[in-house]
Structure 1
Amino acid sequence: MTTPSEQLDAALDALDAAFAPPPEAPFAVGGCTYCYTDSDLEALAGPTHLVPDGLVWSVSVEATDHWADFAALYHRMTPRIVRLLTTGQLHSGYGMIASRLLAAGWRNWAAAEQQALEHVWDAWWRSTLHEYLGNERATDVLETVAVSTGSLSPWLAVWGGTRTEAADHHFDDALDHWLAPPGLADLRLGFRDELHAGPELLDWLLSLEEGRIGAAQLFEIERLAYS
């Protein structure tokens, strides 16, 4: 039986395969020459596995108007961006990357590409809930997968049913994060606040079994839910 980490590795390899370009497929990159050199643009037009990690990160969070064809470039670089993100090599921009994927229209990509990305999100989420390393917050991962897919429900269902020590540590951290100012009731996720998460999170928290949440935090959650 494979571990969640091994399942993530396999899903990332499948993502690479789903996005593999046809042999000798040409690709031209136009972009802001104030922010990017000619050599940067040449690298982005070449084999994606040769693009330096730093340039991949820059593309992952760059404003869409910096590129002549943002959607095509982001589509092309998605496997590299997602691999760096899910393997802990990008430590910021979670909500931004989810928003950029929406801007790139990933839900209109080929079915095989969409399914491969969804499988990565599922494997990444489950892997996160089985590891607690202190350098990746479950709330960041949740923001990425929920904003990009447009729903919290399936990810919360997995969390609710995962009772590993790591998942419980992540849950405790998440409660502290969600209940800190400005508060949970109007919590919105995504760089452009695409997902209004507060009401759904409150309903989920109130549905958890007794004892999962401490008395003081539960009192605050109930106050927010019923006020």
Structure 2
Amino acid sequence: MSRHQQQLMTALDALDGAFASQEPFPVAGCTHCYGAKDLAELSGPLDLMSDDLVSAVAAEVPSHWDDFPRLYRRLTPRIVRAAVTGRLHVDENLIASRLREAGWTTWDAPLAQALHEVWSAWWRATLHTSPSPVSVRETLSLITVATGTLRPWLDTWTATRAPAADTQLADFIDDVLIEYEITDLHMGFYDEYDASKELLSWLLNDVRDRADDTRLDDPYLLEHHWAGNDLHQAG
């Protein structure tokens, strides 16, 4: 296990510790989708919940639960550990949206800080691992939507001079340049974050010297970038 992967595991263990104070409570919700056995299991010890049930709750709409924020907060260590290790089998973008709906940034400081430490450690581990358990695009999308900001994560990528980071960059560029998706790219299950302008500017300026892809010189992309800058300056 690499140093960065070990740091991620340490952050996940710290997340478990921070959330250990979240006590079980009687969970009530949609009895059409969840039987009495499921609700009883969700009301019991966190480590005894089945992976399938945790995955179901991770993706479920908030209206299915009488107290969605409390339930999602309690299950966060299980959900996040499975997500960052690629074992959740739920759209990563949906996890970010659900965490936002659960109001994770308003949780008690030790909980929110522990979760933010996981985002940072996960991003560093992703940039130093190729291939990674979760694609770099999905990782970036989750942490961007969850935190509501893209630039700090891009800055970390810029500063990470490692072969894996460059390989991830090449894969990312190849992905977002298909049919010019970069010109209208939104992150999040519900397209919460418009990443087009920031991403295109970053690719054409901050890491262009590391991107061996001539498609970035396409006049259409350059015109789109300049037009976006003109609109920004005019505003």
Q: TM-score, normalised by structure 2?
A: 0.90
CA contact (8 A) 2:59 2:90 kept: no
Residue 193 of structure 2 is aligned with which of 195, 203, 209? 195
- Separation in 2 of the partners of 1:39 and 1:107? 31
CA contact (8 A) 2:84 2:134 kept: no
Change (3 A) 1:155 1:134: closer
Amino acid at match of 2:169: F
Unaligned regions of 5+ residues in structure 2, if any?
A: 228-235
Amino acid at match of 1:219: D
Q: CA deviation at 1:106?
A: 0.6
Residue 151 of structure 2 is aligned with which of 150, 153, 165? 153
- Separation in 1 of the partners of 2:226 and 2:18? 46
- Separation in 1 of the partners of 2:213 and 2:104? 42
| Other-structure match for 1:16 | 16
| Other-structure match for 1:225 | 225
Q: CA deviation at 1:185?
A: 1.9
Q: CA deviation at 1:224?
A: 2.8
- Separation in 1 of the partners of 2:55 and 2:24? 23
Q: CA deviation at 1:180?
A: 1.4
- Separation in 2 of the partners of 1:209 and 1:102? 30
| Other-structure match for 1:175 | 173
Amino acid at match of 2:126: T
| Other-structure match for 1:6 | 6
| Other-structure match for 2:231 | none
- Separation in 1 of the partners of 2:137 and 2:161? 17
Amino acid at match of 2:6: E
Q: CA deviation at 1:163?
A: 2.1
- Separation in 2 of the partners of 1:81 and 1:166? 26
Amino acid at match of 1:111: A
| Other-structure match for 2:182 | 184
| Other-structure match for 2:131 | 133
* Residues paired across the two proteins, number: 224
Q: CA deviation at 1:209?
A: 4.7
* Identity over aligned pairs, percent: 45
Amino acid at match of 1:64: P
Worse-superposed segment, 210-219 or 94-103: 210-219
| Other-structure match for 1:82 | 80
Q: CA deviation at 1:184?
A: 1.1
* 1:60-112 alpha-carbon deviations (Å, 9 max, x no partner): 11111111111111011001100111112124411100000000011110011
Residue 28 of structure 2 is aligned with which of 30, 33, 55? 30
CA RMSD in angstroms comes to 1.7
| Other-structure match for 1:45 | 43
Unaligned regions of 5+ residues in structure 1, if any?
A: none
Amino acid at match of 1:101: L
Structure 2 residue 142 is the aligned partner of structure 1 residue 144: yes
Change (3 A) 1:37 1:145: same
- Separation in 1 of the partners of 2:180 and 2:66? 38
Q: CA deviation at 1:210?
A: 4.8
- Separation in 2 of the partners of 1:103 and 1:35? 20
Structure 2 residue 55 is the aligned partner of structure 1 residue 57: yes
| Other-structure match for 2:70 | 72
